[in-house]
Amino acid sequence: EAQVTQNPRYLITVTGKKLTVTCSQNMNHEYMSWYRQDPGLGLRQIYYSMNVEVTDKGDVPEGYKVSRKEKRNFPLILESPSPNQTSLYFCASRQASNQPQHFGDGTRLSIL
């Protein structure tokens, strides 16, 4: 089954404790993205990747890092999480830039 898998689905942690949210897709897609979703603000793109070792900033990249060492995985790294990064996060992938995105089920992060 074609899918985008995120882990963990839920996480409560404390300020400053590094965390990684993993994202994996089994569709051999070239393009992958991370979004955060906050009430009243909709979906905002954090980072995106057009292929292995090719990443770029989206609209809200501050406080986040990503890597794309292999095609299927695109982890989101919060080196020093802060409470303003409490949000619902979605990973997405697509085969080409004019193709629709496939989204994961989301990761709800709470930073205390």
Partner 1 sequence: LAKTTQPISMDSYEGQEVNITCSHNNIATNDYITWYQQFPSQGPRFIIQGYKTKVTNEVASLFIPADRKSSTLSLPRVSLSDTAVYYCLVGASGRAAGNKLTFGGGTRVLVKP
Catalog residues that contact partner 1 under the rule CB under 8 A. 4, 31, 33, 35, 40-45, 48-50, 56, 58-59, 90, 92, 97-98, 100-106
Q: Shortest approach of partner 1 to residue 15 CB, angstroms?
A: 25
Shortest CB 14 distance to partner 1, Å:
24
Rounded distance between C-alpha atoms, residue 65 and residue 60, angstroms: 11
* Minimum CB–partner distance for residue 60 and partner 1 (Å): 11
Nearer to partner 1 among residue 65 and residue 102 (C-beta): 102
Q: Pick the closer one to partner 1 by CB: 92 or 111.
A: 92
Residue 82 burial (C-beta neighbours within 10 Å; 0-12, 13-18, 19+)? exposed
What's the start-to-end Cα distance of the chain, in Å? 36
Phi-psi region of 40 (alpha: psi -120 to 50; beta: other; left: phi over 0): left
Cβ nearer to partner 1, comparing 27 with 43: 43
Please tell me whether residue 108 adopts helix, strand or coil conformation: strand
Minimum Å gap between C-beta 32 and partner 1 is 8
- CB closer to partner 1 out of 16 and 53: 53
Written as six digits, the tokens of 105 are 């089920």
